[in-house]
């Protein structure tokens, strides 16, 4: 028997023009990559839905609380690197099971519990300290995201992925790119200005003594300091707040300022924000898991809209389906709103660009001497030195000089004094910068994405193998440029070094370097070193150097 309550579609054709004129389908996030469009799939049973939340800090907890209390899914998998705290939180949530619809709670510090999730929410990462901007978190959280995304995709290749970690728009762009061109467009999106819009609606409603749900309007653009209130389309009930062409007055401007300051204000009071973002995340999850096509401002690729050219992710009102962003509503902006949107896109792109351009290998790895090798662009240069080499992975245009190697006579102990203070272990790039500033390991790059510093005896082997020219950077530079088998040689020496010295004399300081995530020769070497280093760090705060 046919379903008697199918949606009535007889009037849809009357709205085709509206849809075409005012909305666009999701936009591929990288002009250079082909994109796979999302396909509609039948809806599953609601209680069969599974959501994974990665990151069980304050925001993760806020999300779980809201999701459980709104009966959004049948299974909730919680993941965090801190297993002990996670166990405590998961037990605490489980013990409230009598007060909501049944939800199976799983928790682990590995991703197998997330298998076959319908939706994955990523909240893991560093949060702002009082007074700190979201954008300042970019490098640290990008590195965390680079570790998380492959695991998420491995266990839930069909999940819709929601990014909450800050800076939310850039993290969403990075996650979308890491998901790869085969991942359907729109299936990775960010919580964006959903929260800012709620703050906006609430403040206007409080000022007018109304229900926030009667304030229809959006904050668009960045989830952060350069967010944009679209005053020209705010309606209260059905009434426009402003007349066409009317500019917002000082009170309205103050309302927006207050929206922008909300997070700073709350963080200065309690150290973090979590309940409202938890509620907005649950609201978004509900729309996706129920395939409601609700229009919510979330972060999606905006290239091509309002003359934005870069692969920037910003918030616009989007209809959400089970595949994430289904269509983007293109609001009619005033000239000044459009100019502000473009300025916002430009400033986000400036921060995103260095990470974005080095996120995926630009070319296929080359085969040489039976080893998969990084391209020259990937491995910008290796500075050989008596005791150390510094490998910078960054934007080629930023590397302008190639200096002489470390002055002979410097010892590991001396190097350690400069880069190895425990305080700097959390910020290896700063450590490397100190080396640069002190000319201990002179290199010519001042800006980069990731820095990998290796100290240790393998370098001795490296020198031996390469002969007396090893200390001549110019020669090495030429060798790298002309002879790919040189890299294979470095690789095999490093391998020996790792095996010979594992657990003893390597010191690795790394902001998870792009190289680490690649199946290229240097990556293969560095992963075991990294694992050793992490194990070592658990045992002692200050590793000894042999």
Residue 64 contacts ligand NAI per CB under 6 A: no
Cα(217)–Cα(221) distance, integer angstroms? 13
Residues 79-138 that bind ligand CC(=O)C(=O)O (CB under 6 A): 128, 134
Q: Is 223 a catalytic residue?
A: yes
Residue 164 contacts ligand NAI per CB under 6 A: yes
* Distance set, CA 101 to CA 47, 51, 73, 222 (Å): 9, 15, 9, 36
- Among 216, 223, 401, 477, the active-site one is 223
Question: Of 279 and 493, which CB lies nearer to ligand NAI in the complex structure?
Answer: 279
Answer for which of 273, 315, 322, 340 binds ligand CC(=O)C(=O)O (CB under 6 A) is 273
- Of residues 272, 267, 265, 329, the one with CA closest to residue 297: 329
Cα(452)–Cα(522) distance, integer angstroms? 11
Q: Annotate each residue in 212-231 with x if it binds ligand NAI (CB under 6 A) or - if it does not, as one string.
A: -----------x--------
Question: Of 168 and 445, which CB lies nearer to ligand CC(=O)C(=O)O in the complex structure?
Answer: 168
Backbone angles phi, psi at 520, to 5 degrees: -115, 175
The least distance separating ligand NAI from the CB of residue 178, rounded to whole angstroms, comes to 14
Hey, which bits of 98-250 come out as E strands? 104-108, 119-122, 160-163, 188-190, 215-216, 219-221, 227-229, 235-236, 239-240
The H or E element containing residue 144 is helix 138-155
- Of residues 100, 118, 69, the one with CA closest to residue 289: 118
The stretch among 80-88, 390-398, 431-439, 507-515 that binds ligand NAI (CB under 6 A) is 80-88
Residue 152 contacts ligand NAI per CB under 6 A: no
Burial class from Cβ neighbours inside 10 Å (0-12, 13-18, 19+) for residue 6 reads exposed
Cα(248)–Cα(217) distance, integer angstroms? 14
Strands 119-122 and 160-163: parallel
The least distance separating ligand NAI from the CB of residue 151, rounded to whole angstroms, comes to 8
Q: At what angle do helices 194-208 and 250-270 cross, to 10 degrees?
A: 120
Question: Of 166 and 449, which CB lies nearer to ligand CC(=O)C(=O)O in the complex structure?
Answer: 166
The stretch among 73-81, 212-220, 499-507, 511-519 that binds ligand NAI (CB under 6 A) is 73-81
Question: Of 326 and 352, which CB lies nearer to ligand CC(=O)C(=O)O in the complex structure?
Answer: 352
Contact status, residue 382 vs residue 480, Cβ threshold 8 Å: yes
Question: Of 137 and 451, which CB lies nearer to ligand NAI in the complex structure?
Answer: 137
Residues 188-217 that bind ligand CC(=O)C(=O)O (CB under 6 A): 195
Backbone CA torsion sign across 143, 340, 318, 71: positive
Residue 166 contacts ligand CC(=O)C(=O)O per CB under 6 A: yes
Q: Annotate each residue in 93-132 with x if it binds ligand NAI (CB under 6 A) or - if it does not, as one string.
A: ------------------------------xxxxxx----
Question: Of 169 and 378, which CB lies nearer to ligand NAI in the complex structure?
Answer: 169
The H or E element containing residue 329 is strand 324-329
Question: Of 88 and 271, which CB lies nearer to ligand CC(=O)C(=O)O in the complex structure?
Answer: 271
Cα(459)–Cα(455) distance, integer angstroms? 8
- Of residues 55, 66, 59, the one with CA closest to residue 284: 66
Residue 175 contacts ligand CC(=O)C(=O)O per CB under 6 A: no
Interaction site with ligand NAI (CB under 6 A): 54-60, 79-82, 123-128, 137, 141, 144, 147-148, 164-166, 168, 191, 195, 223, 272-273, 277
- Residues carrying an active site annotation: 223
Interaction site with ligand CC(=O)C(=O)O (CB under 6 A): 128, 134, 166, 195, 263, 273, 277
């Amino acid at each position: 028997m046919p379903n008697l309550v199918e949606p009535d579609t007889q009037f849809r054709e009357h709205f085709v023009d509206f849809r075409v004129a005012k909305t666009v389908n999701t936009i591929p996030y990288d002009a250079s990559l082909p994109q796979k469009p999302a396909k509609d799939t039948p809806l599953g049973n609601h209680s069969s839905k599974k959501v994974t939340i990665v990151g069980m800090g304050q925001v993760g907890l806020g999300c779980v609380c809201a999701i459980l209390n709104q009966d959004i899914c049948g299974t909730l998998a919680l993941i965090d690197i801190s297993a002990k705290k996670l166990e405590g939180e998961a037990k605490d949530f489980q013990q409230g099971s009598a007060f909501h619809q049944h939800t199976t709670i799983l928790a682990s510090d590995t991703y197998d519990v997330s298998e076959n999730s319908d939706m994955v929410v990523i909240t893991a990462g560093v949060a702002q300290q009082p007074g700190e901007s979201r954008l300042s978190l970019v490098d640290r959280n990008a590195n965390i995201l680079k570790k998380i995304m492959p695991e998420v995709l491995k266990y839930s290749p069909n999940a819709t992925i929601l990014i909450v970690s800050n800076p939310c728009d850039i993290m969403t762009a990075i996650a979308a790119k890491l998901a790869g061109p085969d991942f359907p467009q729109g299936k990775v999106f960010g919580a964006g200005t959903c929260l800012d819009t709620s703050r906006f609606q609430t403040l206007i409603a409080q000022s007018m003594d109304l229900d926030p749900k009667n304030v229809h309007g959006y904050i668009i653009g960045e989830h952060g300091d350069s967010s944009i209130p679209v005053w020209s389309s705010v309606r209260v009930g059905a009434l426009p707040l402003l007349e066409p062409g009317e500019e917002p007055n000082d009170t309205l401007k103050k309302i927006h300022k207050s929206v922008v300051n909300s997070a700073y204000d709350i963080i200065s009071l309690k150290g973090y924000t979590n309940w409202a973002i938890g509620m907005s995340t649950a609201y978004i999850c509900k729309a996706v898991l129920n395939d409601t096509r609700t229009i919510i401002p979330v972060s999606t690729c905006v290239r091509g809209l309002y003359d934005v050219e870069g692969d920037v992710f910003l918030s616009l009102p989007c209809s959400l389906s089970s595949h994430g962003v289904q269509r983007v509503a293109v609001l009619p902006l005033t000239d000044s709103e459009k100019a502000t949107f473009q300025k916002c896109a430009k400033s986000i792109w400036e921060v995103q660009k260095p990470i974005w351009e080095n996120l995926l290998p630009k070319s296929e790895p080359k085969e040489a001497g039976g080893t998969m090798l990084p391209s020259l662009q990937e491995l910008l240069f290796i500075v050989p030195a008596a005791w150390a080499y510094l490998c910078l992975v960054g934007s080629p245009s930023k590397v302008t000089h190639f200096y002489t190697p470390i002055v002979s006579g410097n010892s590991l102990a001396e190097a350690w004094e400069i880069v190895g203070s425990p305080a700097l272990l959390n910020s290896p790039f700063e450590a490397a910068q100190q080396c640069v500033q002190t000319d201990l390991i002179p290199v010519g790059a001042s800006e980069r994405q990731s820095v990998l510093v290796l100290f240790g005896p393998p370098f001795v082997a490296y020198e031996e193998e390469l002969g007396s020219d090893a200390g001549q950077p110019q020669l090495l530079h030429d060798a790298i440029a002309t002879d790919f088998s040189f890299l294979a040689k470095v690789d095999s020496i490093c391998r020996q070094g790792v095996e010979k010295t594992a657990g003893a004399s390597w010191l690795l300081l790394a902001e998870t370097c792009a190289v680490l995530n690649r199946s290229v020769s240097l990556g293969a070497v560095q992963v075991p070193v990294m694992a050793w280093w992490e194990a070592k760090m658990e045992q002692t705060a200050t590793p000894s150097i042999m």
